[in-house]
Amino acid sequence: MYGKCGCLVEAWRVLDEMPSRDVVSWNSMVAGYAQSGRFDDALEEMFSKLDKKNLVSWKVMIAAYVNSSMPTEAVDLYSQMEVQGIEPDAISFASVLPACGDLSALLLGRQFIKARAVFDGMQFRDVVSWTSMISAYGIGGKGCDAIALFSKMQNSGLCPDSIAFVSACSHSRAGKVEEAYSIIRQMPMKPNERVWGALLGACHVYSNMDIGLNTADHLFRLAPEQSGYYVLLSNIYAKAGRWDDVTTIRSIMTRKGLKKMPGASNVEIKDQVYTFLAGDQSHTQSKKIYKELDVLVGKTKEAGYVPETDSALHDMEEEDKEYHLAVHSEKLAIVFAILNTKPGTPIRVTKNLRICGVCHIAAKLISKITDRYIIIRDTNRFHHFENGVCSCGDYW
């Protein structure tokens, strides 16, 4: 209560007087600092008070860094924990995995799939343990494995919660939107934002407007300030050609002061991360990048690819729409990697938004044309593109 009210001195006093402090009490203190805009200063102070030999202490700090969009610090702290001889558990793996994805540190990220060995060796597995492993599979692009483990969890006698459900099903729903909607309505627990958000994404991919409208209604009540859901609904309307409704959604966003986050993609080459924005021309190799992109776009069209422009701005000419979609940040990052790595070298890209359908198709074709293994980590999951096919089965 003190933390939420910004009374950090009083919050510390309560924490100091507690006879026993668990992960919840420490996380409450972290949240208090974050809400007061004093997070950076708090981290050192809090870590000095935490018992560095206690796994809970490390997990609190790793989670704090991840939740504060500080992936580099999270991964560094995890490495320090291992150096100190602290044995990580399934929760530690699950906590730091998103940070590895944000950094495009996929080689490190793959190590956490070894969490299965830890999981299999556990004498007692609770809902958190199962959910952590299911989530790791789902985010890592192994949707079928996530579903299989979800079934095993049910067979073990444990009742999955909403997090386990969405971790398993949101990554491999195979276009069965109506079936997914039916399951969500029958869930024993109240569906949360993550559940409805996954369904709205499916409605966009498979152009299901009826369920999409109902789903968006739930999301606007649960997360009224989350701009991404408004954008998704706007794109659903755009694909159906309902431009008046698109305009209405944009007006609502303007009235609420919501703005779509600009797309940015990171690509890792020789342990250095390069960042590109949509339409970025600030890079020293911009001319070479755009020239090579034009060549690749031409080859994709020769292969029969026709850009989908339904969700692009309706007041643009078709040619302008194609250009608008062609210069999305992930395409620029991929081309930059092609130009600066040897043939056959895997390309690893992370994006701060959900990858759009146009770029998803393009990445599949580019992987085939250039014979490259391309990995894109968007806000939903890892996409593994190889020989014209994506691991997500065209659902994300």
Boundaries of every domain in the chain = 264-390
Give the model confidence (pLDDT) of 150-192 as tens digits.
Answer: 888 888 888 776 667 666 665 557 667 888 788 788 777 777 7
Q: Where are the alpha helices (DSSP H) in 36-155?
A: 39-49, 55-67, 71-83, 90-103, 106-111, 115-120, 127-139, 143-155
pLDDT, tens only, 266-281 = 888 887 888 898 888 8
What distance in Å separates the CA atoms of residue 204 and residue 235, rounded to the nearest whole number? 7
**C-beta atoms surrounding 138 within 10 Å:** 25
Minimal CA–CA distance to 93: which of 68, 106, 111?
111
Cα separation, 284 vs 99, in Å, equals 28
DSSP 8-state secondary structure symbol assigned to residue 396: -
Determine the 3-state secondary structure of 384 from DSSP. Answer: strand
> For tokens 């996409």, what's the residue?
383
Number of H helices, E strands in the chain: 20, 6
What's the mean pLDDT when you consider all of the chain?
A: 77
Q: What is the per-residue pLDDT across 330-374, written as a single tens digit (0 to 9) for each?
A: 999 999 999 999 999 999 898 888 787 778 888 999 999 999 999
Amino acid at the residue 239:
K
